[in-house]
Structure formats: structure tokens, C-alpha cells
Amino acid sequence: MGETESDTGKTDKTIFNTEETRFVVISWERWVEIASEVGQGNKMVRICFSSSIRQTLYPSARFVKYLQKPLPTKSSSSSSSSFSTTPLFLRPPIHSASFPDLKNWQDWAKHLALSVGPKFVEADNGPDADLLCRELKWLLQDAVVDDENDAGFVKLRADLEEMYALWTQRIEERRPFQYLVGCEHWRDLVLCVQEGVLIPRPETEHIVDMVEEVICEDEGMREGLWVDLGTGSGALAVGIGRMLGDGGRLIATDLSPVAGSVTAFNVRRYGLQDKVDVRLGSWFEPLQDVNGKPVGLVSNPPYIPGDHIFGLQAEVARHEPRIALDGGENGMDALLHLCEGAATLMKPGGFFALETNGEKQPEFLVDFMTSKMKGRFRDVRVVSDFAGVQRFVSGFCC
Amino acid sequence: MRSFLLKRSSLRPLLISQNPKPPNPVFHTSQSNSTYIYGSTIRDWMSSNGYSQINKYSNGYDRFVANSISTRCFSSQGAAVDEQQPKSSDGLTVDRIVSSGWAILEEGEGDWKSHAAAIAQSIQLIKRRLQWRKLMVRLEMLSVELNKPNIWDDPVHAGNISREHGSLLGKMKGVNGFERELLEHIDMLKLAKEENDAELELESMKALLNMRRSVKEKELEALLAGEQDPCSCFIEVQAGAGGTESMDWASMIMNMYKMWANNRGYKVTVVDEMAGEIAGIKRATIKVDGEYAFGYAKAEVGVHRLVRISPFDSGKRRHTSFAAVAVIPILGGSSSHFQINESDLRIERFRAGGAGGQHVNTTESAVRIIHIPTGVTATCQNERSQHQNKAMAMAVLQSRLDQLEMARQAQLNAQHTQSLTDISWGNQIRTYVLHPYRMVKDLRTNYEVSDPDSVLEGDIDGFILSFLSASLDKDEDNS
Ligand SMILES: C[S@@+](CC[C@H](N)C(=O)[O-])C[C@H]1O[C@@H](n2cnc3c(N)ncnc32)[C@H](O)[C@@H]1O
């Protein structure tokens, strides 16, 4: 922590510094000030609306992340990312605890997890005690730095007090594990997530496999333009972006600014900022300038029928953003919109893959694409996920 | 003595150029101190051991070495092989040195004969451990095969043959190199004595002593000369019948291996673990990464038996429990793998409940892969993403299929490979008694230890090494 002179001569309280970025806590007034400067386009800073959690923790403050002024010699991309809460595993290990203290914490947390028993499973198909215990192990994995030299003490990325608070949130508020630690392991990636953005699901990993198959068969696809609509944390964008060749590009879009900033953060973390472009806006709106160009389109749009959401497990219903889940009355609003738009947006021969709720939706979509939109798509098929659910619809544009 | 005796100054370079040093990789490079990986220690720490990471690594190894030295027997090699042996200028060979029965004294004592005898003895032991005669026969077979004109019609087969040929040839040259080196030193020494060259004599003695030490080390390395020995491996433990009692035992055994592997500097990853309802594990698989993990761990294959007063029995009666251990090598990139056909696989997400997708947020992403033609399955649930669970399950599956394939090949060739002696879960190999007395005894070697705690804390090298040497010595004698 420290007082740092900002570019405008005001002092902001720095809470975390990395080589290229500085995290600061600022007042509401200062926030407005910076926001307006950014609006004028003369500031190397991106601002992130902080999550509700952080607002309750620091009611009068907001987090922003400065991009430290780039050195004039270094070429730098202007697409900075802002990410209000630093994921646990990326925080510096500036805390420590004695083994007995940490052990006490672990015993307490384990006890709390075990006390859940089958309660959550019975209530809403939530996690059971076993699963919670595994999460506990992973929480330690992210929080503890194993340093053999420091006998008797362990270095931590969060102090014990926060560890107690986090695990209490997990059990009592059913706050998703991935929000606690600020990341989700997805494929071979570690994606940063926070409240306000959907935690990527294991099923969705399969879309990357499908794309890989297509790219392997037609190397030209590797050098083309891809789009990921409703990118959320940027899971698909990063997963696919990493497979593209030197000429390949990807545009990731989302309506939610939080999703936009989290995606930008993840894209940067994987060094893809020159390949992946993040744009804010509704579905095809930000893609006007690339009409007819994309060779591939992927999307996992919101597909849950609106009135089903409250019946979902607490982790989802209470904590994940509704905008990422709610697909309208029958869940098909976005999916149908995407089908229609894809036919116009895509280059002929382009590949698409969409995720669905796995029930009636895939069948309905296939029917829609092959009859209502006859002649616009070919090889439309339903692909199952590893649980045997008919999860995806894929095909090519004509 | 050779007739072309030259002055020392010109002789030395000549000897050196006539007998270049043996090619470098002899059996294996010594145990790398691979890094102590964070995941494993933390996991260890988080497991039931509380937080006192025990770093005691007591000396099963030294104990064993002492043992093997006193009980070793020195059978001499067959006469046929003797013919091909390198000879010294006056017709001395390694076997003749051994059979002349020169006294072997402490390193610091005795004359050159003591050193020479010790070295010759080591070389013989190494040969026995390398299964020398089988090695020669196999090498001959492979050479014949390699010289067939159409060998490269099947490049995979040819690759395998040539790789094995290369590796066996390397071993043979290594040993021959030792033999030559020993005789050279002896020649040099005799020369020095003849010429009354004290300096040269001293130098040669030093060289002999150095060789005595390095060859001693090679004795141990020769225990791990099997083709798969350098591989990493999976260790699987399965509880026997008997419910909670055995499941608890299975987890004790698994813990023993985790600690053993940690102490050796191997990286341990839990791949799959099925907890018992009350305590322990029904079965579990760990991945042990590091050089020679398989070479050592393979000695643990079989059923392990425990006798103790049960902590789960309110009547405080004695119970006997069983746990079975399997060890599977993870073949390196250069090895031939069983070819898996994508279409032969069924990949399932298990314990996936409900509608999935956006409806569910779970950190559970366990994957099971089934190889339909063989029915072999593999499961992984301990990774943090489905993709990685799948990759790990795939790796386990690959290794299991590789192992099946090796067994099949070995049967086809009627070729006995030591790593395949017990491919299945095997027989009962060891008993651990905690009550009424305390002892761990290996039923194969009769090697025993009276401190079960240290054994269960991972001090099992004594068992491993005694088994390896016993099985190799026995093999050669029977052939
Ligand atoms: C189910 S999430 C998928 C996120 C990510 N692609 C994934 O698979 O993890 C749906 C995403 O669509 C975004 N979204 C919702 N309505 C949108 C719209 N009208 N235009 C663009 N994106 C939208 C949400 O913000 C959310 O990030």
C-alpha cells in the first residue's frame, strides 16, 4: 500500500502494483473525474465497474486499475484490461500464518464443509460435502505458497481473516468457489473470473474441440476471422485464439462491460491481445465492419427459460449474472437471433457451433435452420457432450 | 609381457588411443534430484498427516547394501563367454581374477590385487544383474533381425528393434569397457613395477582405486537396467475384502508410497481416488513422476497384508487386512505405444447430474474413458478442469493398454522381461504385523524390518533393493 501520485497530480491509494498495472482505491469523486477523462480519450486507463461484493466491502470506494504509462520505447497495445478484484492465485504472497493457525483454519473449514452433508444436494442439487472438501483443497492450493525454507510458517496470498471470510461465504451464502478464488480452470487454461461474469462450464470446452477439428481439416480456417458472441470471461475466445495462425483473428463481443474487461484481462494474460479483439455491444451490432468476413462463429448464449432461473442451484441463481443465463420465455431468444444473424454475417463455407440447453432446443434449432432458413446452412448436426446430453448444434454456412 | 615394450612416454598415449573410454551412458545416470513440487508437498501436508512433514529418510538403502555385500555369492561365468572376454597382456581376464581368489581388503589397505579383485567382483555382479547371457542372446537375435533386408518394410517394428538393439549394445559396451579398463590398469601397474617407476605405479593405483569406487556404484545402477525402468509410473492401490478395515489399510499403503516418492524427490499427483464410506479408500491411483520411478516401484507389485488390533473394532480384536498394489510404467516418447483408435473410445462424464450447462455450476468434472475393444477403463477426477481430467484419464488408459500390449508381446516372444514377472495384482508379497509383535517381512526375499512405523512412513528402499537384486540373481542362475 502507498500513496502514489497519479497523472493528474492527485494522490490515489495504491493497493496492488504489477509491472504494467496499478490497482488503486479511489473515492467516488475521483472516479467520476477519471471516467470523464477516459471519455475524452486522453488517458491510458480503463475502468471497471466494481462488483457488488466489493462495493459492500468498501462502500464509498471503487476499484480501478491504471495502466502504468507505457515506456516510450516499448510498443504496447492500447487495449488495456481492467479487472477489479485480483484473483487469489495472482496476488503476491505478502501474508503468512503459522502452521497451527492454518491448520486450525483448515479444520474449521473442513468441519463446516462436512456439516453441510447432503443438505445442498437435497435443496437444489448443489454441492455435497465431498465436493466442498475438494474445493477446500484447491482454495489452499491457490492461497498457500509452498516454501520449504520457512519452517513453521506458510506464506499466503490472502490473510487468514480473509480466508475465514471467504469460506464462510462459500458455505453460508453459497458463493461459487470460482468467485472466491477468482478463477476457473477450463481446458488447459486458468481463466480469471469475478462476479458479473458467467463461470465457464466444462461442457463448453467441447466447442473448442469442435473448432480444432474443423481447423485441422481446413488449414485456411486457421488464418481467418473468428467471432465469439457473448464471450463472458473470454473462455472460448482465448481457447480458440490460441489455435489460430499468424493471420488468424478473433473478435469477442459481449453486452456486459464486466465481461468485456474480464475478457480483456484473460486475453492479455495469454498474450493474445494482438489476435483477439474485445468489443462491447449487443450480438452482431459491434460486427458491422466485418460483415461477410468471419470464417467461424461460436457462441454459448443465454439459453435458460426465464422463469426457470429461480429454481436453479443457489450458486447459479443467486450469484451468476442473469444476463448470462436468461434466454427469454423458452430460452431460445438469443439462439434464434444468432442463427438468423450468422447467415448474413458469415463468409460462405464458414463454420458455426452453438451451445444449447440440451433438451428440446437443439432439435428445434436444427429444424429451424434446415426448414425455415432452408438453403442458408449445410451439414447441420447435433453434438452430444460427455454426459450424453445433446448439447451443441454445429454446421456450415452456404 | 609384450615384446614391443616401449618407453613409458610413448606407451601411455598409445594405450589410451587403443582403448578409448567406454561410451558414456552405461546403465543410467544417477538419481536426479528432481524438484520437490509444490502440489505434492502441500497435498501431503493437507492430508491426514497433520502439518508435520516428516523428512526422515532413514537408511533402508545402507542397511540393504551392507546386507547384500555379506550374502552375495560369486558364481563364475560360463566358459563360452570367457573366450570373448578382454584379456590383459599376460592373458588375465576378469573371471580369472575372480577365481584366483585374491583377498579383498578395505579400500585403504592391501595391494593392487585387492582392488583388482574387488573390481572384478563388481563387474561380475553387474553382468549378473544385467542378465548377461540373456542379453547376449537377445542382442544376437536383434542383430540378425536388423540385418534382414526387408526390415524397414515395417518401420514401427524396425524402430523398436533398432532402439532395443541400441540400448542393449550400449550396456554391453559399457561392461566391456570396464573389463578393458581394469586390465589396462593392471598392465600399466605391472609395467611400472618392472620399470621401477614409482610415479606411474602410484598413479595406476589411484586409478584402480577410483575405478573400484565407481564400479561399486554401477552395481546398484545395474539393478535398474530394464527397458522401462527409467520411466515414471502410476501406482494403484486397491483395498481387499473386509470393508472399512481394508480400506483404511489401503490408504495407509497409499500414504506410504506418497511419502516414499516425496522422499526420493519424485513428484506425486493423485489421479483418482475413491474414498471409503467410513474411512480410507476403496482404490486410488497416483502418478509418480521422476527418473526410475517405475524401476523401483515395480518391486512393490502384489498383495500387502496387515495384522493389527483394529481401531474400528470396539471388541479390540486382531484383524488381518489386504491391499493390492499395481504399478504401470508410463512409456516415454521414444517407446512404441499401443495405437488407440479414437472411435474405440467412449468418453463419459460421470457423476454429472441434471441438465448441465448453464443450469449447473459445479467444480466436479470427473471423466471416465472406456476402451471398448478391451474393456479397459481409466478415470480421473482430481484435476480442476474436465479437459485435464480427460487428458490424465487418457494417459492412464494409454499406459494400461501399453502394459497389456507388452505382456502380449512378451508372451509371443516367450521373452521374459523382469518388469513383467507380475503384471497383474500378483501374489502376497509382504506382511506388516503391528500386533502382537512388530515386524514387516517380505515373503519373497525374507528381508525384514522390526520398525513398521518407519516402513509405513515410506522407508521401503531396503525392501525394494533386496527384491530387485534377489530376483535378478535368481533369474540368471536359473537360465
Ligand atoms: C452463458 S454466457 C456465456 C459466456 C461464455 N461464452 C462462456 O461460455 O463461458 C452468455 C454471455 O452472453 C452475454 N450476453 C447476453 N446478452 C447479450 C447480448 N444481447 N449481446 C451480447 N452478449 C450478450 C452475457 O453477458 C454472457 O456473458
Task: Give me the residues of A, 331-360, that contact B with CB < 8 A.
Answer: 355-359
In a domain, A81, yes or no: no
**Candidates A205, A262, A309, A323: which one to mutate for ligand 1, based on the most atoms within 8 Å of Cβ?**
A323
Type and span of the H or E element at B413: helix B386-413
What ipTM is given for this predicted complex?
A: 0.78
Q: Which CATH number does the domain housing residue A229 bear?
A: 3.40.50.150
pLDDT of B147-199, one tens digit each?
Answer: 999 988 888 788 888 888 998 999 999 999 999 999 999 999 999 999 999 99
Residue A134 at interface with chain B, using a CB cutoff of 8 Å: yes
Q: Note whether A383 and A327 are same-domain residues.
A: yes
Query: In the beta sheet, which residues pair with residue A252?
Result: A228, A278
What percentage of chain A has pLDDT greater than the value 90?
74
Residues A41-67: what's their mean pLDDT?
33
Best probe residue, ligand 1, of A192, A206, A299, A300 (max atoms within 8 Å of C-beta): A300
* Residues A145 and A41 both lie in one domain: no
**Is residue B347 classed as helix, strand or coil in its secondary structure?**
strand
Q: For chain A, how many residues are written?
A: 398
Do residue A102 and residue A32 come from a single domain?
no
Q: What are phi and psi of B203, to 5 degrees?
A: -60, -45
Same domain, A226 and A153: no
Where is pLDDT greater, at B72 or A349?
A349
Residues 202-241 of A with CB under 8 A from B: 202-205
If you measure from the C-alpha of residue A143 to the centroid of ligand 1, how many angstroms do you get, rounded to a whole number?
30
Task: Please state the rounded mean pLDDT for residues A107-113.
Answer: 96
Name the more confident of B426 and A384.
A384
Say how many Å lie between the CA of residue A254 and the centre of ligand 1: 6
Q: What is the pLDDT of residue B413?
A: 60
Cβ contact A148–B361 (<8 Å):
no
Q: Classify residue A195: in a domain, yes or no.
A: no
B44 three-class SS: helix
Is A154 in the same domain as A208?
Answer: no
Q: What is the Cα–Cα distance from B419 to A177, expressed in whole angstroms?
A: 44
Question: CA nearest B165: which of B194, B192, B193, B139?
Answer: B139
Measure the CA–CA gap between A316 and A325, rounded to whole angstroms: 9
Q: Mark whether A221 and A328 lie in a shared domain.
A: yes
Residue A231 Cα: closest atom of ligand 1: 6
Give the closest-approach CA distance of A38 to chain B in angstroms.
35
* Residue A227 in domain: yes
The pLDDT confidence band at residue B65, using thresholds 50, 70 and 90, is very low
Q: In 10 A of CB B96, how many CB atoms? A: 15
Asked if residue A156 is part of any domain, the answer here is yes
- A253: containing domain: 202-397
Question: A257 and A147: one domain?
Answer: no
Report pLDDT for B470: 86
State the Cα–Cα distance between residues A362 and A121, nearest whole angstrom.
28
- Which residues fall within 8 angstroms of residue A105, CB to CB, at 6 or more apart? A97, A160, A163, A164
Q: How many domains does chain A have?
A: 3
From chain A, the residues in CB contact with B348 under 8 A are 386-388
In a domain, A215, yes or no: yes
Q: Which residue of B has its CA nearest to A326?
A: B358
CA distance B96 to A102: 65
Q: What is the pTM of this model?
A: 0.72
If one compares B419 and A217, the residue with the highest pLDDT of the two is: A217
Write the residue in A100, A135, A186 that is nearest to B385 by C-beta.
A186
DSSP three-state, residue A56: helix
Closest CA to B76 of B120, B118, B26, B43: B120
Domain identity same for A230 and A163 = no
Strands A225-229 and A296-299: parallel
CATH number of B2-222: 1.20.58.410
> Which residues lie across from B309 on neighbouring strands?
B318
User: Which regions of chain B carry the CATH code 1.20.58.410?
Assistant: 2-222
Q: Are residues A311 and A220 in the same domain?
A: yes
Whether residue A29 lies inside any domain: the answer is yes
Residue A150 scores a pLDDT above 90: no
Domain contains A105: yes
Element (H, E) at A67: strand A61-67
Q: What is the pLDDT of residue B471?
A: 81
**Which residues of chain A does B379 touch, with a Cβ-Cβ cutoff of 8 Å?**
none
Residues in chain B: 479
Chain A segment 93-132 residues within 8 A of B by beta carbon are 99-100, 102-103, 106, 125, 127, 130-131
- A108 and A230 share one domain: no
Q: With 80 as the cut, is the pLDDT of residue B345 above it?
A: yes
**CA angle in degrees (0–180, nearest 5) for A308-A314-A318:** 80
Query: What residue ranges of chain B are covered by domains with CATH 3.30.70.1660?
Result: 228-479
Please indicate, yes or no, if residue A75 is contained in any of the structural domains: no
Taking an 8 Å cut-off on Cβ atoms, the answer to whether B358 and A106 are in contact is no
| Residue of the CA atom closest to atom 14 of ligand 1 | A230
A311, A389: one domain:
yes
Does residue A245 sit in the same domain as residue A314? yes
- Strands (E) across B290-381 are located at 302-309, 318-330, 345-349, 367-371, 376-380
Domain B228-479: top CATH class: alpha beta
For position A231, what pLDDT does the model report? 98
